Amino acid sequence: MRAVHRPNHHDDPVSRREFLGRLSIALSALAAAVVGIPIVAYLLSPLIHPETNVWIPLGDAAKFRVGETVQVSFRDPSPLPWAGLTAETAVWVRRNSAALADFTVFAVNCTHLGCPVNWLPDARIFLCPCHGGVFYADGTVAAGPPPRPLFEYQSRVRDGRLEILTRPLPIG
């Protein structure tokens, strides 16, 4: 008995090529969406979530040592469901004196294009790794492209906890 060969479109090299082509387009579109959505969400967040001015805790005020500048991470108070890691941010906190609420809190983001700046304690400057922006300890611009001083958050101490008033950053 002779075997009957039924044409199967999965065996057809043209169909397979077409399928793979479509799959690759679909995957590219998916990848673009995954990358693009958090960026679009970040750009639109002040419009979608205008209530970003909220006090958020940074921890026990007593744990900060006078004169030290330390980085503290916190979660954006208006994280969007798809924001993922973009909702994670940080500030530089300095306790200026032993007085209960004498703190200076800078946004970690450079005022040029938003890269996180590093604090160099020996030189007492903030250095931006992206385009060499330099800020003095008081946040004012020392050199490079940043157009304005580091953004400073309003802070307070409530029930022994340091808190900052978050709001959209004027970057760029």
Which residues would be at the binding site for ligand FES (CB under 6 A)?
110, 112-113, 115, 128, 130-131, 133, 144-146
Q: For residues 158 and 150, give the distance between their C-alpha atoms in angstroms, rounded to a whole number.
A: 25
Report, in Å, the least distance between residue 123 CB and ligand FES: 16
- Least spacing, CB of residue 110 vs ligand FES, in Å: 3
Which sign, positive or negative, has the C-alpha torsion 137, 79, 64, 104? positive
Q: Judged by CB, which is closer to ligand FES: 148, or 158?
A: 148
* Closer CB to ligand FES, 105 or 128, in the complex: 128
CA angle at residue 70 from 117 to 77, to 5 degrees? 75
Q: How far apart are CB 126 and ligand FES at their closest, in Å?
A: 10
Q: Which is nearer to ligand FES, 26 or 142 (CB)?
A: 142
Q: Compute the least distance from the CB of residue 21 to ligand FES, in Å.
A: 39
Specify the 3-state DSSP secondary structure of 118. strand
Q: Give the three-class secondary structure for 66.
A: strand
Q: What element of type H or E holds 37? A: helix 13-48
Pick 78 or 109: Cβ nearer ligand FES: 109
Give the residue with the Cβ less far from ligand FES, 139 or 146.
Answer: 146
Cβ atoms of 64 and 46 within 8 Å: the answer is: no
Least Å distance, CB 36 to ligand FES, is: 21
Beta carbons of 108 and 90 less than 8 angstroms apart: yes
Q: In whole angstroms, what is the distance from residue 13 CA to residue 19 CA?
A: 10
